């Protein structure tokens, strides 16, 4: 019996074979029935087929999360009509571009804000009342290193520091929202957390592009495993976290399994990860980003 047996999950951004797809598969492998949300129906159908191939059940809900009138206001209602009360919400859908802030159009700013902040806000508003009534629920917001405050001056030369205004600002707001909702739901049986990839996630798009150096990536399986842990942990003790994926897996001593929950993933187990994290931190340091994974640092004094 899986850790999500009989539960209902809603996962956004689950159509492109990346983190949302991986989380949906991992939740389904643990027994959850999963509602899949994204703009591209064809991609959602592919994810649905992968879930059904392992004996799971999935609901396809095409929706443009950037459009307040694009269907997002009824996602919770439609999911619960088909599957029952939502116990797990994963806000994974995101828009991320890198360019100087003076070059952004207002339409681009609005799109980033709608997808990265307002859509998660609205979905959380819709699921929390039912979770409170049942005294059980898990909310996971996917965030990014780009939301972190860069040290400086002098400032790092990397893209997150120099060109991350739009993506980073909206995700930083999502992090703050996550902690606010966690605080408001504390003691009510509801866990609210955010998950940051330690480095770039090796999605199909990045594999195809071939531009990521080995030191800067982690596999989909580590994100899916960390996400599953945050979607099944004890809300009394595991809430209000903005967790880095690999650090969290080491902290929890969590074995990393494949997306079907069967085999262990070689080279990415808790004992392997400190060396990986150290290499990534050293690469950040070389680019001028000191103490990259230490959220306790006083960035303003660096």
Known catalytic membership, residue 99: no
How many DSSP H helices and E strands does the chain contain? Answer: 11, 9
Q: What is the rounded CA–CA span in Å between residue 112 and residue 145?
A: 16
Q: What is the rounded CA–CA span in Å between residue 109 and residue 132?
A: 33
> Alpha-carbon dihedral of residues 44, 47, 53, 55, nearest 10 degrees?
-80
**Residue 146 DSSP code:** G
267 burial type by CB count under 10 A (0-12 exposed, 13-18 middle, 19+ buried): exposed
Catalytic: which of 98, 167, 244, 293? 167
CA distances from 132 to 177, 180, 186 (A): 18, 16, 10
Catalytic: which of 98, 99, 162, 171? 171
Q: What are the structure tokens assigned to 161, written together? A: 């520091």
Known catalytic membership, residue 293: no
| Residue 89 phi, psi (nearest 5) | -120, 125
Please, which residues bridge with residue 37 across strands? 12, 61
Beta pairing, strands 137-142 & 58-62: unpaired
**Residue 264 DSSP code:** B
Q: Which residues are catalytic?
A: 167, 171
């Amino acid at each position: 019996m899986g850790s999500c047996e009989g539960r209902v999950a809603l996962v956004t951004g689950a159509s492109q074979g990346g983190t949302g797809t991986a989380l949906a598969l991992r939740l389904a492998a643990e027994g959850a029935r999963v509602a899949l949300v994204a703009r591209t129906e064809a991609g959602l159908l592919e994810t649905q087929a992968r879930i059904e191939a392992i004996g799971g059940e999935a609901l396809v809900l095409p929706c443009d999360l950037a459009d307040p009138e694009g269907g997002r206001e009824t996602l919770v209602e439609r999911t619960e009509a088909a599957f029952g009360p939502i116990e797990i919400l994963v806000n994974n859908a995101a828009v991320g571009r890198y360019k100087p802030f003076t070059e952004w159009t207002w339409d681009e700013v609005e799109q980033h804000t709608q997808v990265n902040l307002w859509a998660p806000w609205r979905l959380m508003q819709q699921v929390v009342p039912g979770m409170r009534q049942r005294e059980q629920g898990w909310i996971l917001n996917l965030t990014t290193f780009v939301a972190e405050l860069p040290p400086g001056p002098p400032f790092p030369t990397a893209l997150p520091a120099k060109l991350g205004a739009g993506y980073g600002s909206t995700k930083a707001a999502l992090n703050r929202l996550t902690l606010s909702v966690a605080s408001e739901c504390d003691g009510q049986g509801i866990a609210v957390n955010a998950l940051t990839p330690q480095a770039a996630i090796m999605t199909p798009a990045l594999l195809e592009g071939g531009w990521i150096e080995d030191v800067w990536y982690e596999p989909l399986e580590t994100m899916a495993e960390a996400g599953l842990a945050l979607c099944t942990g004890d809300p009394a003790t595991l809430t209000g976290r903005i967790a880095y994926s690999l650090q969290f897996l080491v902290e929890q001593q969590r074995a990393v399994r494949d997306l079907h929950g069967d085999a262990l993933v070689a080279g990415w187990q808790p004992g392997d990860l400190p060396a990986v994290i150290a290499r990534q931190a050293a690469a950040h340091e070389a680019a001028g980003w000191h103490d990259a994974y230490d959220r306790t640092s006083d960035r303003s004094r660096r």
